[in-house]
Chain A
Amino acid sequence: MKVCEAMVKCLEAEGVTEIFGYPGAAICPFYDALSRSSIRHILVRSEQNAAHAASGYGRVSGKCGVCVATSGPGATNLISGIASAYMDSIPLVVLTGQVDSSLLGRDVFQEVDITGAVEPFIKHSFLVKDPARICRAMKEAFYIASTGRPGPVLIDVPVDVQNCETRFSYPAQIQIRSYRPSSKGHPGQVRRAAEALRYADRPLLCIGGGAFAPGAGEALGRFLSKVRIPLVHTMMGIGAVPPAASMNLGMIGVHGQKGANLALNRADLLLLAGTRVSDRAIPSPELLSRDKKVIHIDIDPAEIGKNIPADIPIVGDLGIILDQLTGEVPSLRFRDWEHEIGFYQNRAPAAYPGQGIDPAAFFRELCGRMWPGGILTADVGQNQIWAARQFRVPFGRFLTSGGMGTMGYAIPAALGAKAAAPDRQTVAVCGDGSFQMSMMELATLRQHDIRVKIIVFANNRLGMVRELQQRQYGRTEAVRLDGSPDFLTIAAAYGFPAFRVERDAEIPAALDALFRSEGTTLLEVRVSPDEPTLPPELVEF
């Protein structure tokens, strides 16, 4: 069997049913083999979106997302997608074609050292020159990408190697002597953590994206039913909190809820669960940790002690550790703290002082209409923060580029998410700037009949940058999006229905129409160019 056929067989053996990609000369043997497989190939319109789509797919399916591109420009176009997945710990397997192995290093047509280029922001990569190594490399790639702290892994295969003969043998299990992710938490540390919880007055659980690891959500539910602890989450942790959790104060951080940040400051014990304490979530960790005990649970030992000093570090799988912890603690309640927390919670939304559409009200209406388990992908900018602050959908997922803030993520991520879970309602929220970074993917949605609702927040500005410039420099430059197309006409050009909403009073009807409409539909939401990201009372925060 040829290497390219073995690659496809490996994908099949791994249970891959969808891949996202874009062909070119150096990956043609693989595509030829793929044409004889039942794996569905989704042709995107730019390689970056293949990586983002695979990311959306991976996050929703809990498996590795797979994407493929040709050498040179195809490979370099993937880079932002790979870096975004790396920052958010999303499991991806990325396949790239490479120029003929005998020509490597001579700068031939479409040669680029892609394994070298992505090294700083990829979990691992392979350049497979030996046909006999392809199956092992594929297995290792899936194994490395999906275990421990997940992340992207790239396999670069020269075009002549793809055509070489090899023997197909896909190991069911492998061991890599230099890679042994830990799973169980150190029992001594777990005991110390349980002890600390028992003697805490104001403990707070802070949940990050790690809570989406297999089994972690259920373990979290079990833990919370024994320990009634107030909790907050990061942007990556949105949707990870079981809907039954009664004391969820919402998102912390620069763009978070005031109550969540207040609780964070007041807590005397911080239980960090699957979060790396990024600067956006906790801007001054040293200051914060000064007056509290910190228990830090993370699968990646390098994240513990990196951004925040930890009194009790616990390395391992979040679900397993939470179960260990649940086994060690008695039932706990913190009544005084609960009482105090009550004041931070459930504050009625402030009256909207602005003009045009109130983004917060819009998202409350939107979430109210989404089905349980619905998926909302958010781009980057003001639209993302408005969405993040209001997202509340039972068992729903909120997908955004948290670590990188990569504009243009929402549409391809929604595309991938919907391909992974066709039965789940999927909504992409974009800014008018971000939309124009990925609107070519409307064709992909059309071609492959992938049905997502697209919401474009139109302020004719790069709104978040406009706000930043105004605040810091007192003037703005290069943030007007004059020349943007009419988004309704754009949607129509791809054969999709589209509506526009300009006033609060029209929101319910517009959303009803959006969800009633068959298939992919676009809703343009006109917001004021002066609309702030955060409600005015939080701006000084």
Chain B
Amino acid sequence: MKRTISVLVEDRAGVLSRVAGLFARRGFNIESLAVGPTAEAGVSCITIVADDRDNVMEQINKQLNKLIDVIKLKEYAPDELISRELLLLKVNANAQNRGEIAELARLAGGKVCDITRSSLTIEYCDTPDRVESFLELCRTYGIKRVVRTGAAAIEKGQHPLSLDE
């Protein structure tokens, strides 16, 4: 099962490399990773999606916690989270099917952000699952290029992960 870990870290040089290096050398698989600043100055949030094969999540959490720059972390099951991924997609499109693709994007909740004679560029932001199915739908037209971010995720409800105990 996929698990998501939100890691609050000191925003310092080398933090990301420490986190990534830890996963690499201990053989933990990262599905996706996204980093960005938080509301707190000097604190970044790293969202990591990992596969909980062989019960490694406990070790991942503990090893991450050992990194001095890690302030706090929390692991979530998929149903505890709101999770979003951004997809930028360049798909083949011509005068005949351009309208059809644009309509598809619109229905799915995406947005056309660039048009050329032979292509459409679409931005699409949704749960990782729906990003996946939208991408599948677009394959029939011929995909020129795909760029995806890792998932950014936030817990549901009114008890956010924060620096205070």
Mark A residues whose CB is within 8 Å of B.
115-116, 119-120, 123-124, 127, 144, 176-179, 300-302, 305-306
Of the candidates B14, B59, B69, which one forms a contact with A178 in the assembled complex, judged by CB atoms under 8 Å apart?
B69
Tell me whether B95 is interfacial, beta carbon within 8 Å.
Answer: no
Contact A119 B18 (CB under 8 A): yes
Alpha-carbon distance between A301 and B65 when the two chains are bound, in angstroms: 9
A-B interface, 3 closest residue pairs, ranked by CB to CB distance from nearest: A302-B62, A178-B71, A124-B68
Q: Is B38's beta carbon under 8 Å from chain A?
A: no
Assess whether A306 is in contact with B18, with CB atoms less than 8 Å apart. Answer: no
By the criterion CB–CB under 8 Å, are B14 and A177 in contact? no
Indicate if the CB atoms of B68 and A178 lie closer than 8 Å: yes
> Does A302 contact B68, Cβ atoms closer than 8 Å?
no
Q: Please, how many angstroms separate the alpha-carbon atoms of A116 and B17 in the complex? A: 9
Q: Is B159 an interface residue (CB 8 A)?
A: no
Q: Does B66 contact A178, Cβ atoms closer than 8 Å? A: no
Q: Is the CB of A127 within 8 A of B13?
A: yes
Name, among A115, A124, A178, the residue most crowded by chain B CB atoms within 10 Å (CB to CB).
Answer: A178
Apart from A302-B59, A305-B58, what are 16 other A-B pairs with CB-CB below 8 Å? A115-B14, A116-B14, A116-B17, A119-B17, A119-B21, A120-B21, A120-B25, A123-B68, A127-B13, A178-B10, A178-B71, A178-B72, A301-B62, A302-B66, A305-B59, A306-B62
Tell me whether B39 is interfacial, beta carbon within 8 Å.
Answer: no
Measured between beta carbons, the chain A residues less than 8 angstroms from B70 are 178
Q: Nearest chain-B residue to A178 (Cβ)?
A: B71
Q: Which of B25, B65, B68 contacts A176 (CB 8 A)?
A: B68
Contact indicator per residue, chain B 40-72, by CB within 8 Å of chain A (1) or not (0): 000000000000000000110011011011111
User: Across the interface, which residues of A come within 8 angstroms of B59, CB to CB?
Assistant: 302, 305-306
Check if B13 sits within 8 Å of A179, measured CB to CB.
no
CB nearest neighbor in A for B60? A302
Q: Are A177 and B71 in contact (CB under 8 A)?
A: yes
Contact status B163-A177, CB under 8 Å:
yes
B13 to chain A: which residues have CB within 8 Å?
Answer: 127
Q: How far is the CB of A186 from chain B (nearest CB, A)?
A: 16
The minimal Cβ–Cβ distance linking B70 to chain A, given in whole angstroms, is: 6
A-B CB contact pairs (8 Å), 14 listed: A115-B14, A116-B17, A119-B17, A119-B18, A123-B68, A124-B68, A177-B71, A177-B163, A178-B10, A178-B69, A178-B71, A178-B72, A302-B63, A306-B59
A301 to B66, CA, bound (A): 9
> Looking across the interface, which residue of chain A has its beta carbon closest to that of B71?
A178
User: Which single residue of chain B is at the shortest CB-CB distance from A177?
Assistant: B71
Cα A179 to Cα B72 in complex, Å, equals 10
Contact B66 A300 (CB under 8 A): yes
Nearest chain B residue, comparing its CB with the CB of A176 = B68
Residues on A with C-beta less than 8 A from B72 are 178
Centre residue among A116, A144, A176, A179 by max chain B CB count within 10 A: A179
Q: What is the CA–CA distance of A539 and B66 in the complex, to the nearest angstrom? A: 39
Contact with A along B1-35 (1 / 0, CB 8 A): 00000000110011001100100010000000000
* CB proximity of A496 to chain B, nearest CB, Å: 43
Please name all residues of chain A whose beta carbon is closer than 8 Å to the beta carbon of B17 when the two chains form the complex: 116, 119
Report B-chain residues with C-beta under 8 Å of the C-beta of A301.
Answer: 62, 65
A357 and B9 CA atoms in complex are apart in Å by: 58
Give the distance to chain B from A327, nearest Cβ to Cβ, in Å: 27
Q: How far is the CA of A431 from the CA of B119 in the complex (A)?
A: 71
